[in-house]
Structures are given as C-alpha cells and as structure tokens.
Structure 1
Amino acid sequence: MSTRGQFNTKNPTIKRILKEASELANNPSPDYHAEPLENDLFEWHFTLRGPPAPSPYANGIYHGRIQLPAAYPLRPPAFRFLTPTGRFEVNREICLSISGHHEESWQPAWGLRTALVAIRSFMDTNASGQLGGMDSSESARKKMAADSSAWKCAGCGMTNGEIMKEREDAVRQLQDSGKLKEEEVPEELKLAYREDLQQQPAAQSSAAPQPEPTSAGTSAETPRSAPSTQETSASSSRGVTARSIPIESAPNPAQSTPVPVNTRPTLTPTRTVAPRAQPQPVQGSQTSDDWLDKAIWGVIFALVLMVVRKYL
C-alpha cells in the first residue's frame, strides 16, 4: 500500500490497521473483502455476499464503507452500505451492537474480519425501525440482490462482481495449497440493536425454569417433608439442653419453676460481697485508741506523782 510511508508505523493504531489489511489480503474469503483506501488508512471499503439461501439476499453482492476512529481498536468502527440492499439505508451509518453507536459492547480483540462476518449474518434480522435500518418486501430485496453484482464503486473502480471474482480466484489458489483458514464469530459478539440487547436479560429472568412436578404429581420441593422428623428431633434436643442449663446453675433445687431459679443467683452475690471484711480494721483502730488513752493517763499519773514528791 502506498499509504504506509505517510504514517508512523510505530503507532499502535497504525500497526493494528496494517496488520489487519495484511491478513485480509493474505487470507482471503469468498464471501467478503475489505481494504483501506490508497490515501487514507482510516477509511476502508468492503464487499460482501448476502447470506445463503433461503435468504432474499442470497444472490446479492454488496459494497460499503468502514470508518475507523483514531483510537481504533479501543473504539469500534462505523459501517454504512453504498449498494442498495432493502435492509439498510444507502450511505447512512447503521446502528448495530458492533458499530460506533454502541461502544460499550465492542471488544478490542475483535477485528474487521469478525465484524464483516457478523454483519453478513445480521442482514436477515428485522430492522425494527432503528437507525439506518429499513423494511422492504422480499421481492424488492431479491431484485436489489440481482442488480447488486453490476453496481460499481467510483472509488474502487470495479464492480461488486469483479471484486468478488478476484477473491474467489485467490481462495481457490489457497485451497489448492491447503492454507485457507476459516473465520469464526465469537459467541460474545451479539449483533442486535441496543433495545434488543437490553431486553434479553429481562427475557432470560422471566424464562427461569420452575420446579417440575415429580411422577407422583407433587412438586419437586415435597422431599423436604422427609427430613422434618430430623429437624423436629434436633429442635427438641436443643430445647432440652436449653432448659437444662438454668436448672444446673440454680442455687435452690427445691424450686419447681425456672423463674425464681434465674432471679436468685443475681441477688446472692450482693449479700456475700465484702461488708464483713471491714470490721477487722475497725476493731484494730478501737484497740489502738484504747492503748493511746491508757498511755496518756499513765504519763499524766507519773507527772502528778513527781510533782507531789517534789513538794512533799
């Protein structure tokens, strides 16, 4: 391609575009083809066959444009058909889950080859009045398909039939050498309008399987009645142990009901807390006071005796 020298080939976007162009050229398909323009790597033209019979597009060969964003492949490409199809409006960007209108559903791992395969399979769906889609009669679509082979693109300078004939010859050569590879559409790639994609989770939740009846005519939940005896026995055993706990901790076994048994243990600690531990320091203080009184009186008595002896 003459455009290679006009771009920085170290740019990740340019490298990705050149890689995809090389893969499409070296591994052609008899059903579709795409390549960038000579003067613009970000604008491609594609040609694809219609879906196989009994589709009304079975005999059609359609041409269109692909516009790649500057952030490709992080952002999805935009598609528009130039050949009348009866399914998409001419030269108007189509609103698909893989196009620029729905960037949230695009994955950078997908390429233009995968997108073309998906668009081809999407042609048989209903337009549903969405952007870029149109409704036509089956006879009108068949007539457009018959006339599409002779449609000629001014930019490419070839008719749709001539472009696909070159692809068929290239595919035939690869088949003889055993190097032809088939492209598969990943399961994660869903081609639908955004409204349809939003309705799918609701439809799946409403279609959740219900419990099926058994052969005896009862629901599948009836076997739960079997372990009910185990549950009752377990609950009864728990009740027995729960009732036995306050009886063991009761200070008065003569009580017949657990109500006073539970109240007495809370009162007994208040009686036996420490009031009786205080009399000992009180007695010691009284004896020490008595000893001091006696000592004082003894000193006074001795002084009195000394005075009496001195003057007598």
Structure 2
Amino acid sequence: MIDLARVQKELVECSKDAEGSGIKVSPKNDNLVLLIGTIPGPVGTPYEGGIFQIDITLPDGYPFEPPKMQFKTKVWHPNISSQSGAICLDILKDQWSPALTLKTALLSVQALLSAPQPDDPQDAVVAQQYLKDYQTFVNTARYWTESFAKASSRGIEDKVLSLLPFFIIGIILWMHVIERI
C-alpha cells in the first residue's frame, strides 16, 4: 500500500525548494497516485531553457518500488523514447531504494539529460545519431527543446481554445449586422 503520508511530505519538500531547483511535483487530480513532475533543462545542454513535464505514477508498493516516470514533453535523447517518453534510468528500475524520493528521482532524470548514456539506449535511432553525428544530435535536441519544451511552444492549443468564444461571439454579432442590412 502506498505511504500517502510520505507522498504528502515529499510534495511539501519539493514545493519548499521549487524556486531554487526548478523541480516541481504536484498531483494531477485529488489523488496522490498520479502526479506531474517538472524539471528545467540543464544549463549548457541542448535542453537549456526548456521546461520538461514528466508523468509520474506511484505503484502500490511505493516507496519500496520505484515510481513509474515517463516524459510528457517530447525530448530527443538516447535514453528517452522519442515516441513514448519512456525513460531508461537504473534508479527507476532495479537500483531504486526507499531512501530515494520523488525529488531525487527527478534530479536524476535531469542529470541524465546532461549525461546521455548512448551505450544503454532507450531510443536506438537517437543513440546512433549521438554516436555517429554528434553535432546533428545537438541541433536536433535543441530544435525539439525549442519546439516542445519552451513556454512559447507550449499551450498553443489552449491559447486557440481560449480565443474560440470571442470568435463565436464575433460570428454572432456579424450575423446580426447582416440581418439588419
């Protein structure tokens, strides 16, 4: 059974240091099993300036079993699936310890962005590019960061949807004007 008191304590600890570390964790809904984590792209990497969202699901055995983490934000990295967002990281598998927390797991994911391990890839295509044509890898990773992880690229659908009521009102007003002509 999930130790909900520990999860609540971890969420409080993350929120205390969120401004300094940039790492945030919050519940998706009112339950503490589905969470969303946010990490900033590390400075000096192609991910710099990006904000990456990670879906977190806590298994029944948490904290004795690792959280299940998957990038929600698309990212170009040898150890992260460019298709599904799956993460290849030992502490999220067999090297997990109950002494670790959600924050330390997210810090490890952030460190993975700084130090790819192409010899143990999650995405073989990205790993091949990293090993054979590093500059193209960097350019692609930077492009993906610009496209999917920067504030200017996120929420476009939300912005369009927020304008929809004004568009509808405009059409209605225009129809009234035409009726009077």
TM-score, with length taken from structure 1: 0.41
User: What do you get for the CA RMSD once the two structures are aligned?
Assistant: 2.6
Deviation of 1:50 after TM superposition, in Å, equals: 1.1
Q: 1:107 to 1:129 in 2, by over 3 A?
A: closer
Query: Aligned to 2:90, what secondary structure does the other structure show?
Result: coil
| Distance verdict in 2 for CA 1:49–1:153, change over 3 Å | farther
Counterpart Cα distance in 2 of 1:125 and 1:47: 19
**Higher radius of gyration, 1 or 2:** 1
Total equivalences in the alignment: 142
In the TM superposition, residue 64 of structure 1 has moved relative to its aligned partner by 1.5
Which one of 54, 69, 73 corresponds to residue 64 of structure 1?
54
Q: 1:32: which partner in 2?
A: 23
Counterpart contact for 1:60–1:144, Cα < 8 Å = no
- Which residue identity does 2:89 align to in structure 1? L
Partners of 2:105 and 2:2 in 1: how far apart?
Answer: 20
5+ residue gaps, structure 2: 130-136, 160-181
Q: Which residue, out of 127, 151, 156, partners 2:154?
A: 151
1:44 aligns with 2:32: no
Which structure carries more relative contact order (alpha carbon 8 Å, separation 6+)? 2
How has the CA–CA distance of structure 1 residues 153 and 63 changed in structure 2, closer, same or farther, with 3 Å as cutoff?
farther
Q: Secondary structure at 1:113's aligned position in 2?
A: helix
1:122 maps to which of 112, 117, 120: 112
- 1:12 Cα deviation after fit: 6.2
1:174 equivalent in structure 2: none
Q: Equivalent residue for 1:96?
A: 89
Percent identity among equivalent residues?
23
For 1:113-134, what per-residue CA distance to the aligned partner results, in whole angstroms no more than 9, with x for missing partners?
Answer: 1111111111131333633575
Alignment correspondent of 1:15: 5
Ranges of 4+ aligned residues in structure 1 off by more than 4 Å: none
Partners of 1:46 and 1:65 within 8 A in 2: yes
User: What is the rounded CA distance, in whole Å, between the counterparts of 1:134 and 1:65 in structure 2?
Assistant: 23
Do the aligned residues in 1 keep the contact of 2:74 with 2:85 (CA within 8 Å)?
Answer: no
Matched AA of 1:91: S
* Distance change in 2, residues 1:61/1:134 (3 Å): farther
- Paired with 2:55 and 2:154, the residues of 1 have a C-alpha distance of 14
Determine helix, strand or coil for the equivalent of 1:27: helix
Q: CA deviation at 1:30?
A: 4.0
Question: SS of the residue aligned with 2:55?
Answer: strand
Q: In the alignment, what sits opposite 2:122?
A: 131
Q: Which amino acid aligns with 2:107?
A: V
